[in-house]
Amino acid sequence: MQSFGKMAAMGMAGLLLFDMMITVGVTSMSTVSDTTMMSIRSNGCKKTSAQSSSDSGNSLIDKYIAKAEEMAKDGKIGYSQSKRKLNPDVDCSSFVYYALTKGGVKNLGDSPFNTSSMDDPMSKAGFTKTDFDGSADKLQKGDVVWRDGHTEIYIGDNKTVGAHEDTDGKDGDSKGDEVSEVPLDYGGGKYTSYYRLSNSSASSSSDSSSSDSSSSNSSSDFKTNDVAIKIAKAFASAGFSKAATAGVLGNVYAESGFVADRSGSGNAYGLGQWDPRSKIRTWMDANGLKDTPDSDEDGQIKMLVATAKSSFNNHYLSEAKAEITVKNDNLYDTWHDASDPEVAAVAWMAGWERPNWASRNEDSRKQVAKNYYDKGLNDISFNGKSGDSDDDSSQCCTQSDDTDGTTDTASANVTVTNSVQAYTDKYGQAAFDIGKKYGIPYEAILGQSAVESAWGASSLTTKYHNFFGIKAVNGQKSVKLATKECNQGGCYDTTGDFAVYDSDEDGFAGYGKFITENSRYATALQKRTDPHAYIQELKNAGYATDNNYVSTVWGVTQQFIAYIKQTNKFPPSSEVQFDSAPPADTGGSSSGSSDDSDANTTCPVSDDSGSTSYGSVGGAPTKDGDFSWMCSGNQKICSASDAGVFYPHLEYGHQCVWYAWNRLAMIHGNEGWSWVMGNGGDIANNLKGQSGWTVDGNPKPGDGISGRGSPFAGGGDCGHVAVVEEVSSDPSGWKIRISEGNRDGSASFSSYGSRWLTKSQLSSTDCQFFRNSNWKK
């Protein structure tokens, strides 16, 4: 429901009119005039005919043209990419497929091809492909014309018949314009090739044995892209799996063709077609790249990796479920853990890119992802876990160790990379010494530090020896650095005081102190001989909120374990003589220490009685719509360009945080209180302990509500924030009507929403209500 800022509404892959080219054997890229569709030059195909001579010639052409015209007149058949198999609709390439097959053309395969995989089946069916300049005088009736991403059938008189676009978002063709006859130049782009039915008899080419019409190129034709490989290596180094990375590549190809300075529709730009383009500049400035141009390839790749999770949401969850199996009702989890690159491509498309769904060019993204997975990434070592196992289970082979009951995870199927070797050689001794001193499994220290410091390459690590992103406390030496906060619609820059250490050894020692001086981690410290259990208990105690944190860190940790076992550099933690006894197990409860500034605890809606207030604020519409109703209030939000008075931040559109603070100021006035920084889901926690603020589990009209979890918030880690407009009685205790920004993930001026939620519905979330003592109501 809530969304991070949407990427380019359509992406470079897709005018609504066309389905996207899948071929990856690209020899050149260009932009078609008057469109945002990328142009990908074909590598051509063998010209063999498998059409019997008795069916060839004008009679067969007349038959399939007649079928094409019949389909165009059938109002039950419209344009759709998700229902392209006459269920009940078609897209441009499936229209051609069905017209030809219904007209008697043979050997086209058992399912529709697409524009990038037409060469082989058309060749087998007896069509010869010829490049041409787009002029009608070169064409004959029955030719199948083609350009990057689109195809139709030429019927003479400078006309084609085909499937063009979805004009009403519904099944069928109610207006008669989705599947129809159109001028040859319809859509603004020239056709560059045509397929013509040959009169020759079938030849038994050895190539005809292949029937896989979904493959865009043979292995010998496939060519990787240098930028794609750089992206893949960056995702591999960050611990993501091969399948997940291939899914990203399929999408980046569809969006920008791996061109970092490509401009798309609207104000979209770059590899990921970020919209607006200013998002790139904002992120770079906040992440130590102020002197780097936003067109910089390497900078954009860093941004892709860094926002791989924060830019996900579940806005297209239901649509994705119609295409793939979604894990945990979460598109990020589905992408991250996918073992199938095509599933990963759909999950990234639906959760991260979020293109216009009607013109999403899904087949293109899936095919490119598959090609890279099968053929293009074999020289890269991937260490990230993929598959369907839970966070707390290992995918490596394990063997029980009878001596101490722990698990030997240094199995033969763990791949040790050069990064693991180099990192261990450089930081292994520091990790071992700190683990021994503080009673922490050093293997887990290595795994955590590698993941959180980008293998020692982050600027916080290289300049300030901080491997774990630990914040400074109690007068500790610190540096104020740009960082980012996120709300459900995007991320914005802020600053934080991070601990500064004098050496790498000090940085590791700082971690040891951080863990042992916070009683919440007492249970984790009981697991000093079991790295996996230690990581799991850290997660349980609130060290991280990422659902994939255990699997990510454990996947890297296993590599360290394997390498250390192979080289015998250090004894396993199960054999280490620690310098001190473990602390008493407190069950992982938090002491509330401010030292644990990065941990997020969850506080479910409480059953505290006697303080819930019923009533209504008034003024906020009960139906979804735009924000123009706020024009009459003190924030003067009348049009899409009006940012408000109290919280005038439209950098990432009309997001939930933007709306909540401005709406609360409408209710309570602009004076006597201030908004606080934070993700939508973090605002309530950030207000705890601050003067004048109350945070609890009992709603009152005019409260803010902040938290994570469905049905209040969508997917992703940034949560959601809204305003309580009404509180009424309910069998579960109470129910509230909230008003909210960015209800549909578009971050648009028309994304205002309102809905009712019951206490029972919120019981599975960590939602909390907040209010200020200086509020007028």
Q: What pLDDT shows up at residue 373?
A: 92
For residue 209, tell me if it sits in a domain. Answer: no
Q: Is 266 found in the same domain as 198?
A: no
Q: Is 454 found in the same domain as 412?
A: yes
For residue 49, tell me if it sits in a domain. Answer: yes
Q: What pLDDT shows up at residue 519?
A: 83
Beta carbons of 163 and 177 less than 8 angstroms apart: no
Provide the 3-class DSSP secondary structure of residue 422. helix
Q: Which of 193-202, 246-255, 277-286 has the lowest mean pLDDT?
A: 193-202
Edge to edge, the sheet with strand 193-197 lists: 127-131, 193-197, 144-147, 150-156, 159-163, 179-183
Q: Which of 196-205, 512-521, 687-696 has the lowest mean pLDDT?
A: 196-205
- Paired tokens of 467: 């491997």
Q: What percentage of residues in the chain have a pLDDT greater than 90?
A: 36
- Global pTM reads 0.34
Q: What pLDDT shows up at residue 383?
A: 64
- Paired tokens of 645: 């008075």
Q: What percentage of residues in the chain have a pLDDT greater than 70?
A: 78
For the CA atoms of 270, 273, 277, 278, what is the dihedral angle to 10 degrees? Answer: -100
From first CA to last CA, the distance across the chain in angstroms is: 29
Q: What pLDDT shows up at residue 57?
A: 40
Q: Which of 51-55, 62-66, 129-133, 555-559 has the lowest mean pLDDT?
A: 51-55
Residue 606 has pLDDT above 90, yes or no: no
Enumerate residues 6+ apart whose C-beta is below 8 A from 176. Answer: 75
**Cα–Cα dist 271/250, whole Å:** 12
* φ, ψ at 695 (rounded to 5°): -130, 125
Provide the 3-class DSSP secondary structure of residue 50. coil
For residue 418, tell me if it sits in a domain. Answer: yes
Beta carbons of 320 and 220 less than 8 angstroms apart: no
Q: Is 760 found in the same domain as 626?
A: yes
Residue 505 has pLDDT above 90, yes or no: yes
Q: Is 678 found in the same domain as 757?
A: yes
- Paired tokens of 291: 């002197």
Residue-wise over 610-649: b if at least 16 C-beta within 10 A, else e? Answer: eebeeeebeebeeeeebbeebeebebebeeeebbbebbee
Taking each helix axis as running N to C, give the angle between helix 418-438 and helix 504-516, from 0 to 180 degrees, rounded to the nearest 10.
50
Q: What pLDDT shows up at residue 460?
A: 86
Residue 47, CA distances (Å) to 28, 116, 397 in order: 23, 16, 50
Comparing 592 with 441, which gets the higher pLDDT? 441
Q: Is 443 found in the same domain as 322?
A: no
Half-sphere exposure of 44 (CA within 13 A, CB side): 7
Q: Is 403 found in the same domain as 368?
A: no
Residue 757 β-bridge partners: 736
Q: What is the pLDDT of residues 161-178, one digit of tens each?
A: 999 988 888 889 988 889
Is residue 469 packed enough to be buried (19+ CB in 10 Å), middle (13-18) or exposed (0-12)?
middle
For residue 382, tell me if it sits in a domain. Answer: no
For residue 352, tell me if it sits in a domain. Answer: yes
Q: What pLDDT shows up at residue 770?
A: 94
Provide the 3-class DSSP secondary structure of residue 129. strand
Q: Is 650 found in the same domain as 508?
A: no
Comparing 272 with 451, which gets the higher pLDDT? 272
Q: Is 186 found in the same domain as 101?
A: yes
Q: What pLDDT shows up at residue 546?
A: 61
Comparing 714 with 312, which gets the higher pLDDT? 312
For residue 606, tell me if it sits in a domain. Answer: no
For residue 480, tell me if it sits in a domain. Answer: no
Q: Is 512 found in the same domain as 649?
A: no
Q: What pLDDT shows up at residue 247?
A: 96
Q: What pLDDT shows up at residue 455?
A: 83
Q: Which of 136-140, 249-253, 537-541, 584-588 has the lowest mean pLDDT?
A: 584-588
* pLDDT tier, 730 (very low <50, low <70, confident <90, very high otherwise): confident
Q: Is 703 found in the same domain as 571?
A: no
DSSP string, 63-110: HHHHHHHHHHH-TT--B-STTTTTSS-B-HHHHHHHHHHHTT---S-S
The pairing of beta strand 478-487 with beta strand 490-499: antiparallel
Q: What pLDDT shows up at residue 467?
A: 93
Q: What pLDDT shows up at residue 439?
A: 94
Residue 404 has pLDDT above 50, yes or no: no
Q: Is 265 found in the same domain as 130?
A: no
DSSP 416: P
CATH of the domain at 760: 3.90.1720.10
Q: What pLDDT shows up at residue 199?
A: 59
Q: What pLDDT shows up at residue 591?
A: 32
Domain that holds residue 130: 40-204
Q: How confident is the model over 579-589, as a mean pLDDT?
A: 62
Beta carbons of 345 and 250 less than 8 angstroms apart: yes
Q: What pLDDT shows up at residue 599?
A: 32
Q: What pLDDT shows up at residue 418?
A: 52
Beta carbons of 739 and 722 less than 8 angstroms apart: yes
- CA-closest candidate to residue 749, choices 635, 632, 606, 638: 638
**Last-in-domain residue among 204, 235, 267:** 204
Number of domains in the chain: 4
Largest CA-CA distance found in the chain, in angstroms, rounded: 90
For residue 273, tell me if it sits in a domain. Answer: yes
Q: Out of 543-552, 580-589, 686-695, 747-756, give the one with best mean pLDDT.
A: 747-756
* pLDDT tier, 706 (very low <50, low <70, confident <90, very high otherwise): very high
Q: What pLDDT shows up at residue 545?
A: 58
Residue 142 has pLDDT above 70, yes or no: yes
Is residue 776 packed enough to be buried (19+ CB in 10 Å), middle (13-18) or exposed (0-12)?
exposed
Residue 624 has pLDDT above 70, yes or no: yes
**Cα–Cα dist 495/478, whole Å:** 12
**Cα–Cα dist 112/80, whole Å:** 13
Q: Out of 315-324, 405-414, 536-545, give the one with best mean pLDDT.
A: 315-324
DSSP string, 262-282: -B-STT-BTTTTBSSTHHHHH
Q: What pLDDT shows up at residue 715?
A: 61
* φ, ψ at 98 (rounded to 5°): -70, -35
Q: What pLDDT shows up at residue 605?
A: 33
Q: Is 411 found in the same domain as 366?
A: no
* pLDDT tier, 750 (very low <50, low <70, confident <90, very high otherwise): very high
* pLDDT tier, 411 (very low <50, low <70, confident <90, very high otherwise): very low
Residue 462, CA distances (Å) to 239, 500, 578 in order: 20, 11, 29
Q: How confident is the model over 341-353, as a mean pLDDT?
A: 95
Average pLDDT, the chain: 78
* pLDDT tier, 402 (very low <50, low <70, confident <90, very high otherwise): very low
Q: What pLDDT shows up at residue 484?
A: 54
Q: What pLDDT shows up at residue 494?
A: 64
Q: What is the pLDDT of residues 647-704, one digit of tens each?
A: 888 877 888 999 999 999 999 988 888 888 788 888 998 888 888 899 999 999 999 9
* φ, ψ at 333 (rounded to 5°): -60, -40
CATH of the domain at 330: 1.10.530.10
Residue 269 has pLDDT above 60, yes or no: yes
**Last-in-domain residue among 204, 235, 269:** 204
